[in-house]
Chain A
Amino acid sequence: MNSAPLLRLTKITKSFGAVRALKGVSFELNSGEVHALLGENGAGKSTLIKVITGAHKPDGGILEIAGSQVSDLTPTRARELGIACIYQQPALFPELSVAENIGLRLECGATFGCVKWKKLHANALRLLKQIGADIDPDTPVHSLSMPQQQLVEIACALGSGAKTVIMDEPTASLTRTEQELLFGVVHTLKTSGVGIVYISHRLEEIFALADRVTVLRDGESISTQAVRGAEGSALISETDLIALMVGRPVSALYPLKAKVTGKPVLELCAVGCEESGVKEVSLTVHAGEILGLAGLVGAGRTELARIIFGITPADSGTLAINGAPVRVLSPRHAVELGIGYVPEDRRRHGLIMQMPIDQNMTMAVHPKLFPNSLLNIRAETALGVHFIEKLGIKASGPDALGGSLSGGNQQKVSLARWLATKPSLLILDEPTQGVDVGAKSEIHRLIRDLANEGMGVLLISSDLPEVLGLSDRIAVMRGGRLVETLDSTQATATSVMSAALRSA
């Protein structure tokens, strides 16, 4: 290794509005190295990748590629400089053949707009051979399996002369044997001098593949260390890594926990849904209680919420609301049963962006607030004003459009919608995602107030301190199953994280 590293990032910072996604990340990738990037959800991994691929322009810090400083990286420039990224969901054209896809990506096989089919085919075959993939270049991409599509992506990366390949959770949807195949390709790439940034939540993969590992936490690179010593022995343990990932004190600013909890408002018994991959989940949420649902992205938490709210109804197990067994068949039905749901993707579905906030707040209340389905515009405006004051929503007035508000204030509006209906169970999916620190603690207080008023709250959050600080009990999901339920007095960041991560 006489040359400069393929990639060197020094103290990179990046903010989105008030949210500081990267607070100074340093990272280095050498030729022929697999460097793993590890961190909780929201630690800044995705942002970092977007900085490397030129999708985001960093606010500060130095980015060097192959020894020379690059200040204005664009996605096109990044590709020219040999950086390729392979995403979980390959971005290929499903109706075109493998050869056509590779040809399109590499802009080869065509002269003056005329496709040279032979050259296209030969080139695709050569690249696929090179990574040891047994795929016929004439196959249409939609008939390939997910890992095969990833191999095509890798072939594209190779063909474009990529020196740096970023793999973002490449194995998330792969079976064991498919993983082995992918690992083989990683080794091939490595020996041909390509550097690989490898992102995965599966710790065992990091030990199997990586040479070095960098842990990100809260937008900072906490530590970079070698995974294996010269003679191949592990230098770091799984426990060490988890400790590094979560190692921050839980903020003492969370509201007091519940002293007493009431009757069960939600009881799940072996609930499952084939379509969304949730298997045999049993849990109970009591009135006045906040049950935190922890786990990694993709562990089935949102899917479980969607079952309870009737979006994808359960096809096995039983569900009871306020002690009465029910089948929740649609969100409309769920609202009638007294369930409220603030979805994760607030930007898209939690709020109707082009509607005024007072109308957004009354959206789910209609039958309760307006008997005879007659809208009382004055009462609606009054309700808007009331919640704007009560929740401290920063808006020009009840007629401000939902889309004109900041993230935290939008979140308060979608909470207000359910405050007005007073459901017996409120499901919150990532309620403080993308919300700045101040609004975050206000929302926390609000959630606790709701529980104190007797509502049962199911809190889905990937923010560990939030789950630990706010919940009365914590249920951990992994791979569509509920793997552990902890009392919040005993739970620690490490115990929750290891339950969520533990290699099954």
Chain B
Amino acid sequence: MKRYSRELTVAIALSALLVLLAIFAPHFFQPQPLLARLTAQVPVLVLTIGMAVVIISRQIDISVGSQFGVCAVVAGLMSAAGAPLGFALLTATLTGTAMGALNGFLVAWLGLPSIVVSLATMVTWAEVLRLFQQGRFINLPPRVQWFGFSQLVGQASLLFFALGLLGAMAYFLKNRTGGRHFYAVGSDSEAARLAGINPRGVTMLAFVLMGTLTGIAAFCNMVQSPQVDPKCGVGLEMKAIAAAVVGGVAVTGGRGGLWGAFFGLLLLATINPALTYMHVDAYWEKAIQGLVILLAVIADGLRTKRSAA
């Protein structure tokens, strides 16, 4: 049980918040708004999955917000030009994969620090997007939103897809040797190398995966609205990082899991509506989110200190 103590803590905090809501604001659990709020988190959840893997490998990718914007515009333009949804998904995913591969190449093969590399690509992609799209929204044909189905079916299928992806990736990380390698490299890449693992390949894979998931996330975002906002990715990297960190993925690498990150995301995403429903001034939202992140990092710090002693 000790291995999952952090996941449990976050899950308990989330449950406590939900119980509070159930007592003081039962409106929160009205099916339709709840489903809408959950679906709105699907793109961030997909990003969080990738980010958790990147952080477990002791790297960081702050360019995902910009990458997300690029992928969204690519998918949007494809759809607007009349391409089928599957093709839009494919192009967005390939675009994301290519951008992830660039980050991965610079970090894994040239040995550059990932924070600097992804800062550079973050700025670059954002500027490319600004020059190319100049802030124009892309109007989508009606068949795109909710895949052309009813809103309920669209939302449900997005949620099922996201949870399926989460389950599959969590299984991969925990039960496949390839998943274990992320933990090994993130804990101690030299020790992993001496055990016969190829740390470069593993690091590369983490970034490529992040890019692929970014493309998928951008697609999941597009199908929820009638337009594509080229600025839709701004700040998403921070949400994904925060969710992973709150959920117990250690920024020092090698520790944490996807279920924890999932609970972390839900906790952070519940704070805002909770405040609204409990009639607390919404201005507190960011401060409280910040506090939660700080608590998570402090908990990690204490835990590391204890295990070192």
Q: Report which A residues bind B (CB closer than 8 A).
A: 309, 311, 330-332, 334-336, 341, 343, 348-356, 359, 363-364, 366-367, 370, 373-375, 377, 399, 401, 403-404, 417
B194, A343: Cβ atoms closer than 8 Å: yes
Residue contact A352 to B198, C-beta cutoff 8 Å: no
Q: Which of B3, B178, B196, B198 contacts A364 (CB 8 A)?
A: B196
- Interchain CB contact under 8 A, B307 and A403: yes
B41 interface residue (CB < 8 Å to A):
no
Q: Which of B175, B179, B191, B196 contacts A349 (CB 8 A)?
A: B191
B3→A399 contact, CB < 8 A: yes
Contact present for B254 and A375 (CB under 8 Å): no
Q: Does B37 contact A (CB under 8 A)?
A: no
**B188 CB contact (under 8 Å) in A353, A404, A417:** A353
List the A side residues contacting B308 at CB < 8 Å. 403
> In this complex, what residue of B is CB-closest to A377?
B175
Nearest CB in chain B: distance from A423 CB, A: 10
Query: Provided the pairs A341-B194, A364-B196 are in contact, do residues A352 and B187 lie with their beta carbons within 8 angstroms?
Result: yes
Query: Which residue in A311, A331, A351, A375 is a CB contact (below 8 Å) of B174?
Result: A375
Distance in angstroms from B308 CB to nearest chain A CB is 8
Residues in A whose Cβ lies below 8 Å from that of B188? 348-349, 352-353
Interchain nearest-CB distance for A139 vs B (Å): 29
B184 contacts A by Cβ under 8 Å: yes
Chain B residue at minimal CB-CB distance from A339: B196
Is the Cβ of B180 less than 8 Å from the Cβ of A404? Answer: no
Which residues of the partner chain A approach B307 to less than 8 Å between Cβ atoms? 354, 401, 403-404
- A-B pairs, 8 with minimum CB distance: A335-B196, A363-B195, A373-B177, A366-B177, A349-B191, A364-B195, A352-B187, A332-B196
**8 Å CB contact of A348 from B175, B179, B190, B193:** B190
From B176, B183, B195, give the contact of A374 (CB < 8 A). Answer: B176
* B198 and A330 within 8 A (CB): yes
**Docked-complex contact B177 and A375, CB < 8 angstroms:** yes
Nearest A-chain residue to B197, judged by Cβ: A332
CB pair A366 B198 closer than 8 Å: no
CA distance A375 to B177 in the complex (A): 6
Contact present for A350 and B194 (CB under 8 Å): yes
- A332-B196, A374-B176, A403-B307 are known contacts. Are A351 and B191 too (CB-CB below 8 A)? yes
Residue on A nearest B180 in the bound complex, by CB: A375
Q: How many residues of B contact A (CB 8 A)?
A: 26
Residue of B nearest to A371 (CB): B177
- Given contact pairs A354-B255, A355-B183, A355-B184, A334 touches B174 in the complex (Cβ within 8 A): no
Do the beta carbons of A352 and B254 come within 8 Å of each other? yes
- Pair A352/B196 contact, Cβ less than 8 Å: no
- Residues from chain A with a CB closer than 8 A to the CB of B187 are 352-355
Interfacial chain A residues near B192, Cβ < 8 Å: 352, 363
Other than the given A334-B196, A352-B188, A353-B188, 9 more pairs (CB < 8 A) read A331-B193, A331-B195, A331-B196, A349-B188, A363-B197, A364-B196, A373-B177, A375-B180, A377-B175
| Alpha-carbon separation in the docked complex, A356 to B184 (Å) | 11
Q: Which residue of B lies closest to A399 (CB)?
A: B3
Using CB atoms, name the residue of chain A closest to B178: A373
- Write out the residue numbers on chain A whose beta carbons fall within 8 Å of the beta carbon of B178: 373
A interface footprint on B72-114 (CB within 8 Å = 1, 0 otherwise): 0000000000000000000000000000000000000000000
* A-B pairs with beta carbons under 8 Å apart, 16 shown: A311-B193, A331-B195, A348-B188, A348-B191, A351-B191, A352-B184, A352-B187, A354-B187, A354-B307, A355-B184, A355-B254, A356-B3, A359-B183, A363-B180, A375-B174, A375-B180
Residues of chain B in range 141-183 having any CB-CB distance to chain A below 8 Å: 174-180, 183
Q: How far is the CA of A373 from the CA of B176 in the complex (A)?
A: 6
Alpha-carbon gap, A309 to B191, bound state (A): 13
Q: Which residues of A contact B180 (CB under 8 A)?
A: 359, 363, 366, 375
Among candidates A343, A349, A355, A370, residue contacting B177 with C-beta atoms closer than 8 Å: A370
> Given the complex of chains A and B, what is the CA–CA distance between A335 and B198 in angstroms?
11
Residues 229-244 (chain B) with a chain A CB within 8 angstroms? none
Looking at the assembled complex, report how far the CB atom of B102 sits from the nearest CB atom of chain A, in whole angstroms.
24
Q: Which B residues are CB-close (under 8 A) to A401?
A: 307
In the assembled complex, the Cα of A356 lies from the Cα of B183 at a distance in Å of 11
Contacts of A377 in B (CB 8 A): 174-175
Interface residues of B in 275-309 (CB under 8 A from A): 307-308
A341 and B194 CA atoms in complex are apart in Å by: 7
Which B residues, 215 to 229, have Cβ-Cβ distances below 8 Å to chain A? none
Task: Name the residue of chain B whose CB is nearest to the CB of A421.
Answer: B196
Residue from B174, B180, B254, B308 with most neighbouring chain A CB atoms (10 Å): B180
Contact B194 A375 (CB under 8 A): no
Q: Which residue of A has the minimal Cβ distance to B254?
A: A354
Which residues of A sit under 8 angstroms from B197, Cβ to Cβ?
332, 363
Q: Are A374 and B175 in contact (CB under 8 A)?
A: yes
Chain B residues with CB under 8 Å of A341's CB are 194
Specify which chain B residues have a CB less than 8 angstroms from the CB of A354 in the assembled complex.
187, 254-255, 307
Residue of A nearest to B198 (CB): A332
Write out the residue numbers on chain A whose beta carbons fall within 8 Å of the beta carbon of B255: 354
Q: How far is the CA of A331 from the CA of B197 in the complex (A)?
A: 8
Shortest Cβ distance from A5 into chain B, in angstroms?
40
Q: How far is the CB of B223 from chain A (nearest CB, A)?
A: 33
Q: Which residue of B lies closest to A418 (CB)?
A: B195
Report the nearest B residue to A375, measured CB to CB: B175
**List of B residues within 8 angstroms of A349 by Cβ:** 188, 190-191, 194
Kindly list chain B residues whose C-beta atoms are within 8 Å of the C-beta of A403: 307-308
Q: List B contacts of A334 (CB < 8 A).
A: 196
Residues of B within 8 A of A356 (CB): 3
B residues in contact with A331, CB < 8 Å: 193-196
A401 to B174, CA, bound (A): 17
Please give the distance in Å from B277's CB to the nearest CB on chain A: 40
Report chain A residues within 8 Å CB of B3.
356, 399
Most chain-B Cβ atoms within 10 A of its Cβ — which of A334, A335, A352?
A352
A311 to B307, CA, bound (A): 31
Closest chain A residue to B255 by CB distance? Answer: A354
Chain B residue contacts of A366, Cβ below 8 A: 177, 180
B38 to A: closest C-beta gap in Å: 31
Q: With the chains together, A354 CA to B191 CA distance in Å? A: 12
A398, chain B: closest CB distance, angstroms: 12
Most buried by B among A341, A350, A359, A366: A366
